[in-house]
Chain A
């Protein structure tokens, strides 16, 4: 954004001088445009590859066995959560099986500094599998991240990590 702002400022500063022959302006800047396009294209390919491999969403078809994962069943309703169990251990991956009994909700895991660690939607008719490994013990908060009605902002519960 700063680069774009700088380019606009550059043009702004150079807007009052007159270069009467527009074709010399276009000739010069069309050449740069081609390079700019290929730069963006290359950047896009690199970012896409790096950010999508491995794919950041867990395989939803895979069964996550209880010996490898801690499994927490999450149900959501207007306007509360139920989690079974609501205590897990740090260092071992947790699979949250998240669903909803009424409308769409958003299952957001927040640490003690109110930093969002991960999330998934809670949907009626679907069970979303979210996997997270907690680094350290503590009291974590679950906040609703999908607008679900008049007490949406009060839909908060706690998860204990030992």
Chain B
């Protein structure tokens, strides 16, 4: 069966199957949104503490920091999975039951994480950098560290099961991952089919990298668990770092590649212009498969025993992985919008913003990934600056734009409501300011992950607190819109 034949045919589901699938997608999005709102409140709290406007103990600060990190990554994971699954199931048959299994496994994992942090006192950061989980100097117990790592292991297992189902679906429809990625078209073995769905290409890429990323995460989590209860087993610290950053980088990076399917699918609907696949498109996504996995050494540039070639690869690929978004996806979105007569609704504004956030967010990431710059930026506030830019202005607007689309907003000439406008601009200004204050703090050498800031740094944190409050205001509007409009919204036509 050729991919061309399949590509032009969307999967037929019964009305009941579609209704159930929509409920499941909404559950993913609402859960993701709710967790993100709580995590933003956690972020606001930390900035207020650093700005001396709020006083809490260092142990509680680092617990909040831990839940903030793991919560945002988890919410990004579950939310982006909701986006990808919704669009991918239009082209490959996916199991609603397995989608729900992952959801409930995720919820169980979240409960365990909360217990380990707020009952067990675990505050070893979401990166669980070995051997810190087992060496807290009595601040948290071995049990708390074990439950935290077990929770991540369980959550990862849920995602692996879901990816197996996606892989099964893709293979059943397209015959191979290579065909789904469009490689026979890229290498000229079959003619280019411009209707080959971008969502299938993106979904296949996410499946490949995340499957491997999570599998590596499972390895390092199991090694960490063994170390907790058998301290004589001491894996190499640098090896563990490599495994942890491979897993962490791939997982969070994949969320944006999963969510961009909302842009590929929705911008054409709102502009009346198609998002056609091409050789350039396939080449970009094929390169991304490797770059997302091989770029992680940019986290290890201050680990001097790392091989020189690995750090050079980390720097070169960090620059390289910016090219697909600057030349293909971001550029493609600009072409589709340019002189299209697009109706600007909250949906389209968020999707357009997401492209800006992703494209512009590449720049601080590339800078930090240069060895010579990393020497003075690594583990400063520049790092949260770059990933808050990506997440707040790139990833989340993709998810929020999709949510607004599902609520039915923006179609039939409907104008955005005043509250949505306030929410959008509060979020936009707050997110931009939050990220820029982080970047300015990093450029001023302020370290990240400090519960107490020196007097010289407090003003930065206070401006950051005001900015974070604006983000929360915008987020409250988005969350209320989702909670009130999403549950009863019908399938968009």
Contacts and interface: CB of A to CB of B under 8 A. Distances in A.
B273 to A, nearest CB: 5
A44 B320 contact: yes
B315 A147 contact: no
B338 A153 contact: no
Nearest to B326: A40
Given A29-B338, A51-B372, A128 B305 contact: yes
Interface string B53-74: 0000011001000000000000
A5 B304 CA distance: 36
B363 A4 contact: yes
A22 to B, nearest CB: 5
B358 to A, nearest CB: 10
A36 B323 CA distance: 10
B166 to A, nearest CB: 31
A89 interface: no
A15 B337 contact: yes
Interface string A1-40: 1001101100110111111001001100100010011001
Interface stretch (B218-226, B233-241, B474-482, B484-492): B233-241
B450 to A, nearest CB: 4
B378 interface: yes
B131 A124 contact: yes
A56 B304 CA distance: 10
Interface residues of B, number: 71
A48 B173 CA distance: 42
Contacts of B451: 152-153
A20 to B, nearest CB: 9
Interface stretch (B135-143, B177-185, B395-403): B135-143
B129 interface: yes
Nearest to B57: A150
Nearest to B378: A119
Contacts, number: 193
Contacts of A11: 334, 337-338
B375 A118 contact: yes
A126 B302 CA distance: 13
Contacts of B135: 78, 102-103, 149
B341 A17 contact: yes
B371 A124 contact: no
Interface string B349-367: 0001001100110011000
Contacts of B132: 103-104, 147-149
A60 B304 contact: yes
A125 B378 contact: no
Q: Tell me which of B131, B302, B312, B360 has the highest count of chain A C-beta atoms within 10 A of its own C-beta.
A: B302
Interface string B160-197: 00000000000000000000000000000000000000
B337 A48 contact: no
Interface of A: 1, 4-5, 7-8, 11-12, 14-19, 22, 25-26, 29, 33, 36-37, 40-41, 44, 47-48, 51-52, 55-58, 60, 78, 102-104, 106, 108, 110, 114-121, 123-126, 128-130, 143-154
Q: Which 5 A/B pairs are nearest by Cβ-Cβ distance? A: A18-B341, A116-B445, A19-B339, A153-B450, A145-B379
18 contacts: A5-B360, A8-B355, A15-B340, A22-B273, A29-B335, A36-B326, A36-B327, A40-B327, A51-B370, A55-B371, A104-B132, A106-B379, A108-B379, A117-B376, A120-B304, A123-B238, A149-B136, A152-B449
